[in-house]
Amino acid sequence: MREINLNLLTEKIRYACIYANRTLPDDLITRIKKFSALETSQPASGVMKCLEDNLKAAEEMCLPICQDTGMAVIFADVGQDVHFTGGSFEDAVNEGVRQGYTEGLLRKSIVSDPLRRVNTNDNTPCVLHTRIVPGDKVRITVAPKGFGSENMSRLKMFTPSASANDIIDFVVDTARVAGSNPCPPMVIGVGIGGDFEMCALLAKKALCRNVSSPNPDDFYVGMESEMLEKVNLLNIGPQGFGGKSTALAVNIEAYPTHIAGLPVAVNIGCHVTRHYSFEI
């Protein structure tokens, strides 16, 4: 049994919240540069150049990439041979978020009740997904999620008779309806299978996958490629100004489901689909 003091977890999450809001993963920066080079119209290429300049300025000036520093979504894979000391795991995670958003001068966007709308003033609570896994390590992914893109997400309970093409059409239509609202070029996470809430979780996890790492199943690789191609034919373009760069990537995650169902969720991420992972 390995003991981990929760003060260490709090400190790591504090740092991760700040870092993730200032620096995009390398694979996404590379993808932005790649799509920027493909644009031929002045408005589209100009917008993409501005996005690149913004990424560079955020890193150099230690400022958030986007003013919407998001709701903190945290995935925690906890080894079953780990014993935490020093308090409550969930409290320690939220304390890390509180410190990160306060000390990092990040915008605090969380309200304590969805209808009464009183700001908590420290961006807590986070959305925490915890999974028990083999081993004595803890792997954390911190994914700040802005709501301009989150609000454009959709979920549909297909019947089992639906085809892959039906799902592709649904994803493409979701991007079409979203238009410029999610600050394209988007990253699109697609969850297929499970049940109502599981497919949404899969879609969220898909947004945290390296955009240069396709699904391990060639069947879904083909669907990812077709979805990306068709979304980019919509001509929504960077920030809605038209062009070839409506989406940077489409990532699919799949899970077994019931014989009577076929749930599909589409979680839209903006061009700054932020996430940062660490291991203790």
Closest by alpha carbon to 187, among 114, 112, 269, 113? Answer: 269
Domain ranges of the chain: 2-21+65-145, 147-273
The pLDDT of residue 201: 98
The pLDDT of residue 267: 98
Calpha distance 179→182 (Å, rounded)? 7
The pLDDT of residue 182: 97
The pLDDT of residue 199: 98
Q: pLDDT tens, 190-199?
A: 999 999 999 9
pTM above 0.85, yes or no: yes
The pLDDT of residue 108: 97
Average pLDDT per run of 10 along the chain, which is 280 residues long?
96 98 96 94 94 94 96 98 97 98 97 98 98 98 97 98 98 98 97 98 98 96 98 97 97 98 98 97
